[in-house]
Amino acid sequence: MARDLYELLGVPRDASQDEIKRAYRRLARELHPDANGGDPEAEARFKEVAAAYETLSDPERRRRYDLFGATGSQGGGGFGGGLGDIFDMFFGGSPFGGAANAAGPPRGADLEVVVEVSFEEAVFGAEVPVSMRTAVPCEACEATGADRGSAPERCPDCGGTGQVRRVRQSILGQMVTATACARCGGLGTIVQHPCVVCGGEGRTLEERTYHVELPAGVDTGATLRLTGRGAAGPRGGGVGDLYVHVRVRPHHRFSRHGDDLHADLHVSFTQAALGAEITFDTLDGEELLTIAPGTQSGEVIRLRGRGVPHVQGRGRGELIVRVIVDTPTQLSAEEEELLRRLADLRGEDVSPPASGLLSRVRSAFK
């Protein structure tokens, strides 16, 4: 009777993947043939431990083992993989094109990360660092998954194809069943002596930092794709891509609408009435703005080429400055008198001056 795989590794049945990996590494070091002078008993035990780890480190094979025992962990029936597996079982492939479960190590996963940048970095472009924890090729085994002095071997069950095909007769005629090889997991190769560093995965987890070039004019919601910067696949499989999602922090003075920038400029009542030249800080530096006499609140001044660069072309948008005329408050007695004289000259009706006790109290605080 075959020994329980959990007992072989010395872990409970609810052990996590990290606990299983640690147990395997400890036993692999103890039982490795190089550490036992070629003792055949230790080598046999080493192979048992490696086989147990190969099953329990694969979530799907572990699930089948937990449900059906050693027979179930070797693969088998059922429609566990969805519509694609149903077509594979009855027709030997997907009706949508391409071969299912192609041999060889699978490509690594694509990764996503969000990078937050300043308003100025988004407008003018910048190089920003992006850090993440990702799977990288194992240097100890050169991504093969095999321990030092050994190499992956062609799977004897599928002959290196990664698939097991069976032909059977039914009332519909001859039917071909094609499933991923349970022994090699569809890789086409098996590792008899897994690497003690990566546990036969051919990859390890590391913290990596990449420098991303943000083009000038990028905005919140933009996604940049970095080919080959995702996770490494197992046992030398291809590397996925990295998708960088951009989020731009708001600016305290400028807002963005497409490739145009918008800002407010507050001017006094007299500046708007008589005109003025005012220095205004743009993202490119200072600009001298001319306020024409009689400017009304809400009028705009357009500065061409001072907006956001066009990402998909040349040139830049506009900087649109809205003039806000501030009405004076808390007038002194002299200022109030001057404004009343102005109103009188223009024939404009205004409220009468405050009088009585309230007026005397107000004057006392001026």
* Residue ranges, CATH 2.60.260.20, the chain: 105-142+196-249, 255-326
| 26-71 pLDDT per residue, tens | 888 888 766 777 777 877 888 888 888 888 888 878 877 776 665 4
Looking at residue 247, what is its pLDDT? 95
How far is the C-alpha of 237 from the C-alpha of 34, rounded, in Å?
28
Domain 105-142+196-249 has CATH 2.60.260.20: yes
**DSSP E strand stretches across the chain:** 111-117, 126-137, 153-154, 163-170, 173-180, 189-190, 203-214, 223-226, 242-248, 255-257, 260-268, 276-282, 285-291, 300-309, 316-326
State mean pLDDT over 256-270: 96
Residue 101 clears pLDDT 70, i.e. is over it: no
State mean pLDDT over 127-132: 94
CB atoms inside a 10 Å sphere around CB 225? 11
Please list the residues that pair with 183 across neighbouring strands.
none
Q: What CATH number is given for 255-326 in this structure? A: 2.60.260.20
| 62-94 pLDDT per residue, tens | 877 776 665 444 444 333 333 333 333 333 343
Looking at residue 80, what is its pLDDT? 36
Please list, in sequence order, all residues whose beta carbon lies within 8 angstroms of the beta carbon of residue 51, skipping any fewer than 6 positions away. Answer: none
Instruction: For residue 308, name the pLDDT band (cuts at 50, 70, 90).
Output: very high
**3-class SS letters over 27-60:** HHHHHCHHHCCCCHHHHHHHHHHHHHHHHHCCHH
Looking at residue 91, what is its pLDDT? 37
How far is the C-alpha of 241 from the C-alpha of 251, rounded, in Å?
31
* Ranges 102-116, 144-158, 186-200, 345-359: which has the least confidence: 345-359
Looking at residue 94, what is its pLDDT? 38
* Residue ranges, CATH 1.10.287.110, the chain: 1-74
Higher pLDDT, 41 or 118: 118
**Do the Cβ atoms of 82 and 88 come closer than 8 Å?**
no
Please give the CATH architecture assigned to the domain spanning 1-74. Orthogonal Bundle (1.10)
